[in-house]
């Protein structure tokens, strides 16, 4: 257990008053940044970076990572309260978190989100501690084909989940792919779908789409239908928070499954956003209460939050060990490392063990501090819902527009967000799911690049996707996930034949329909 | 009284006008716009300049770094076009500023920019993983490439830019046939080589040095006229200086280094141009910037004013020539 000894040394580095104060400041700053949609962790870290130039590298990285944790937590807050994901990775939290808030269970939803996020992050850090030496070697085995297999699994688990009209899912996903292709193509170096129009050359930011589709779209629906928040009913006592925390162990199966998915997607190049989607989709399929997902089911909050945070923690490992950032925030931090005179890469663990293990120890402490701080803010945030909609509504609209502008300081993005808002409204009115659209936008161009790079490597032969045990296993699992709905369909269609259309088949059909039917609300 | 005042005013104007012209001093925050995403080469460059200016007190106004990486960085230069004459915006990039419009139809041209300085030159090297490829030197690389034409996969950052251009030069000069595989960044390509998924990559030193130290990558040769200067041992008992030039080992490609460039928009007042030129010259002398240059085994060569303009014209012409050979040149050029 050489790692354990080094971790203890790390704690000795991280546990100074100076560093703990920095963690608290970082988490608080992160919370603010995470709550504002569009600003997000990458922008926040990038804004803070100049402040760290005069600091020693350990204090600097502790400040930036603490801010990252704070932002991850803050991102879930607006997802649950207003259906606006503050961070891309908290989109999946809106699916059940927002319905819960509307039912008057905002405190419960927030507490569950923060509690499970804390557990997810802890799992991630423990995985990093135990496997740090091995992960770097493992990550080297990922070529373009393996990258594609990871993305393929994420897509497959999601398609398998959507039970509503397959046609509508497909339309939504294809539109997402189309949006993802806008801008410069990595493989050919040509612009696609930009129509020689300057504002489109940088592509369409995923954050803009999310702010429009979710935030503004929901606002339009609320205005039309006059949906009332039942926030007044929400209990704001601290006992409610503790009661909810005590409830967490009941979801142990979801927690373990989601943490495993999160760690896997964090170490491989999937990243937190893909992890949270995949975890939600698989939770829906394998949880006993999966049929209730989308209507305000606690497990629908626990699943994406746990995976998001375990992936977020694990994603720091490839950054340190390989110099390949697993997320946008990690990319900014990596830039920071280079400016402080450190080179991320396989040798960092040997040349600067004090830095690496100090950072890992600070991840333990930072997450504990973050959970305590965010739980303390729950009553405050829940109180916001008590304000009447005529006050909150305009504020949400303003926050969305400012958020859209802050993503890249482009006025064009604001107009784009408004367009996406109308699109989101139309999607909901026509019962098209939004989730496949978002997933395709996040992973579409990455999956496409990996697919084409793999085929270039193999001179066009698709056998590369089954060339070794690792990639073949992932592709096999992906195909299985993809076929799962078809298998269960065949199963329910042909199994009861022996019963000659008896009561059994009706009951069976009803049971399976019960599982698949509410999928129309998956796009919430 | 009145006459006195007029004289005083005239004197002030006479003395003040040239003094003012030399005395541009920023009174608002200065914005650095980077033609690359966070963590990329140009991003590190801009942030190191930011750090060296603010730490040394050369510039007391706050500096804000923003990334506009869209369209391989074209977004940055299009943005420059929309804010002509703004003395508070500096644009950071490489040769991309004048090379991008050669291949793609973009709404800006070199006329929309004022060149300020090239602050360092980043050399290119050819890397392999000796264990997975069995290649130890340039000879072995060429032999293997000739054995199976098109089977050797060479990775690099993006398509139809410096990396792919260099790969086509290798093909022409060594008389071999390679397959280019574009990745999002140079470090991604390096990891693919380290993992044995592709054979080789062309990269700046900083993007592969850590893999070299870990023994999963090895530099074969450097695309320069002369060997790199740094004699500190890096790995395998080798220094940057011990790496042969590609020309001496059989691939006759000389001096392919990419400049780290700083620009302002067109119509920037000359006093502001003069101010920032001096400022960046001083920044290049700070310990922070020097450490950055030597860490990445870059060539410490600063170009400003006419020397820089001359370099741009030459460099652009040579790229146009190479793009023409590859069939990438846009018809209008």
Which pLDDT does position A479 carry in this prediction?
Answer: 93
The pLDDT of B36-51, averaged and rounded, is 89
Residue ranges matching CATH 3.40.190.10 in chain B? 125-249
- Cα distances (Å, whole numbers) of residue A135 to A44, A142, A318, B178: 28, 11, 8, 32
**Strands B89-93 and B30-34, sheet pairing:** parallel
- The list of chain A residues with pLDDT below 50 reads 1, 498-524
| Chain A closest-CA separation from residue B21 CA (Å) | 31
ipTM score of complex: 0.87
Which pLDDT does position A284 carry in this prediction?
Answer: 87
Parse chain A into domains and list their residue ranges: 2-523
**Contact flag B216-A344 (C-beta cutoff 8 Å):** no
Calpha distance A422→B65 (Å, rounded): 33
Which pLDDT does position A522 carry in this prediction?
Answer: 36
SS3 label, residue A83: coil
- Summary mean pLDDT of chain B: 91
Sheet of B89-93, strands arranged across? B63-67, B30-34, B89-93, B258-265, B113-122, B303-304
Q: Which fold has domain B9-122+258-326?
A: D-Maltodextrin-Binding Protein; domain 2 (3.40.190)
Calpha distance A33→B65 (Å, rounded): 18
| Chain A closest-CA separation from residue B237 CA (Å) | 16
The pLDDT of B119-136, averaged and rounded, is 96
Tokens of B31: 């914005």
- B71 confidence band (pLDDT: 50, 70, 90): confident
In A242-374, the DSSP E strands lie at: none
- pLDDT tens-digit series, residues A393-431: 888 898 889 888 888 888 999 999 999 999 999 999 999
Which pLDDT does position B264 carry in this prediction?
Answer: 97
- pLDDT tens-digit series, residues B220-249: 999 999 999 999 999 989 999 999 999 999
**Contact flag B187-A324 (C-beta cutoff 8 Å):** yes
- The DSSP bridge partners found for residue B180 are B154
Q: Give the architecture (CATH level 2) of B125-249.
A: 3-Layer(aba) Sandwich (3.40)
Residue ranges matching CATH 3.40.190.150 in chain B? 9-122+258-326
- B6 confidence band (pLDDT: 50, 70, 90): low
Q: Which among B104, B107, B211 has the least Cβ separation from residue A345?
A: B211
Which pLDDT does position A499 carry in this prediction?
Answer: 44
**Contact flag A459-B55 (C-beta cutoff 8 Å):** no
Which pLDDT does position B250 carry in this prediction?
Answer: 93
- B117 confidence band (pLDDT: 50, 70, 90): very high
Cα A108 to chain center, whole Å?
Answer: 20
Q: What percentage of chain B reaches a pLDDT higher than 70?
A: 93
Q: Which among B67, B195, B198 has the least Cβ separation from residue A140?
A: B195
Calpha distance B70→B47 (Å, rounded): 19
Residues of A in contact with B198 (CB under 8 A): 143, 457
CB-based contact (8 Å) between B67 and chain A? yes
């Amino acid at each position: 257990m050489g790692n354990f000894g080094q971790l203890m040394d790390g704690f000795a580095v991280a546990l100074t008053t100076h560093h703990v104060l920095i963690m608290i400041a970082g988490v608080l700053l992160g919370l603010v940044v995470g709550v504002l949609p569009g600003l997000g962790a990458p922008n926040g870290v990038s804004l803070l970076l100049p402040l760290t130039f005069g600091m020693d590298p350990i204090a600097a990285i502790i400040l930036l990572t603490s801010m990252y944790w704070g932002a991850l937590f803050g991102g879930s807050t607006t997802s649950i309260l207003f259906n606006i994901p503050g961070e891309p990775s908290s989109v999946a939290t809106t699916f059940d978190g927002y319905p819960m808030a509307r039912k008057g269970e905002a405190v419960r939803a927030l507490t569950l989100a923060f509690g499970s996020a804390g557990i997810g992050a802890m799992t991630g850090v423990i995985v990093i501690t135990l496997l740090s030496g091995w992960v770097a070697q493992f990550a080297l085995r990922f070529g373009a084909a393996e990258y594609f297999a990871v993305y393929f699994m994420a897509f497959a688990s999601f398609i398998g989940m959507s039970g509503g009209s397959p046609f509508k899912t497909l339309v939504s996903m294809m539109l997402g792919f189309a949006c993802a292709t806008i801008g410069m193509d990595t493989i050919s170096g040509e612009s696609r779908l930009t129509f020689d129009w300057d504002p489109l050359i940088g592509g369409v930011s995923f954050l803009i789409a999310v702010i429009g589709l979710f935030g503004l779209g929901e606002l339009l629906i609320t205005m039309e239908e006059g949906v009332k928040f039942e926030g007044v009913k929400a209990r704001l006592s601290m006992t409610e928070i503790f009661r909810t925390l005590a409830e967490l162990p009941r979801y142990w199966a979801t927690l373990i499954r989601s943490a495993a998915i999160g760690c896997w997607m964090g170490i491989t190049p999937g990243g937190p956003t893909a992890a949270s989607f995949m975890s939600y989709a698989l939770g829906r399929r394998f949880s006993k209460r999966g049929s209730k997902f989308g209507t305000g089911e606690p497990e629908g909050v626990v699943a994406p939050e746990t995976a998001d945070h375990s992936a977020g923690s694990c994603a720091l490992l490839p950054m340190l060990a390989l110099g390949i950032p697993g997320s946008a925030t990690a990319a900014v931090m990596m830039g920071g490392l280079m400016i402080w005179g450190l080179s991320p890469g396989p040798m960092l663990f040997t040349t600067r063990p004090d830095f690496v293990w100090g950072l890992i120890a600070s991840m333990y402490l930072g997450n504990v501090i973050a959970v305590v701080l965010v739980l303390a803010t729950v009553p405050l945030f829940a109180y916001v819902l008590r304000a009447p909609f005529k006050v909150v509504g305009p504020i949400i609209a303003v926050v969305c527009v400012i958020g859209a502008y802050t993503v890249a300081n482009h006025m064009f993005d604001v107009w784009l967000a408004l367009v996406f808002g109308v699109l989101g409204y139309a999607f909901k009115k026509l019962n098209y799911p939004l989730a496949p659209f978002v997933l395709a936008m996040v992973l579409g161009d990455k999956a496409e690049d990996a697919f084409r790079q793999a085929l270039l490597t193999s001179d066009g032969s698709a056998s590369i996707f089954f060339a070794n045990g690792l990639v073949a296993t992932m592709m096999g699992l992906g195909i299985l996930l993809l076929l799962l709905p078809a298998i269960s369909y065949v199963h329910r269609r042909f199994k009861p034949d022996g019963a000659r259309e008896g009561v059994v088949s009706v009951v069976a059909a009803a049971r399976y329909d019960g599982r698949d039917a509410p999928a129309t609300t998956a796009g919430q | 009284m009145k006459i006195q005042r007029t004289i005083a005013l005239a004197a002030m104007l006479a003395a003040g006008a040239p003094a003012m012209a030399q005395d541009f001093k920023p009174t608002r925050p200065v914005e650095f716009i980077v033609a690359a995403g966070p963590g990329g080469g140009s991003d590190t460059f801009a942030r190191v300049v930011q750090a060296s200016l603010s730490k040394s007190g050369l510039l007391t106004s706050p500096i804000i770094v923003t990334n506009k990486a869209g369209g391989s960085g074209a977004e940055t230069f299009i943005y420059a076009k929309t804010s002509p004459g703004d003395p508070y915006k500096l644009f950071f990039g490489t040769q991309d500023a004048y090379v991008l419009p050669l291949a793609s139809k973009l709404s800006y041209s070199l006329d929309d920019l004022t060149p300020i300085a090239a602050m360092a030159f980043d050399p290119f090297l050819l890397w392999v993983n000796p264990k997975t490829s069995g290649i130890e030197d340039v000879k072995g690389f060429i032999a293997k490439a000739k054995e199976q034409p098109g089977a050797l996969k060479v990775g690099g950052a993006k398509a139809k830019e410096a990396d792919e251009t260099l790969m086509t030069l290798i093909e022409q000069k060594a008389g071999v046939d390679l397959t280019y595989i574009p990745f999002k960044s140079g470090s991604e390509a390096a990891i693919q080589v380290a993992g044995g998924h592709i054979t080789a990559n062309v990269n700046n030193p900083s993007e592969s040095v850590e893999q070299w130290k870990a023994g999963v990558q090895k530099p074969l040769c450097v695309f320069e006229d002369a060997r790199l200067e740094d004699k500190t041992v890096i790995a395998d008992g080798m220094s940057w200086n011990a790496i042969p030039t590609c020309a001496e080992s059989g691939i006759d490609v000389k001096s392919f280094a990419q400049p780290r460039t700083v620009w302002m928009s067109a119509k920037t007042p000359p006093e502001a141009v003069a101010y920032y030129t001096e400022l960046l010259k001083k920044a290049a002398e700070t310990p922070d910037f020097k450490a950055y240059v030597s860490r990445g085994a870059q060539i410490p060569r600063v170009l400003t004013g006419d020397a820089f303009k001359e370099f741009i014209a030459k460099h652009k012409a040579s790229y146009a020539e190479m793009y023409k050979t590859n069939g990438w040149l846009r018809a209008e050029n």
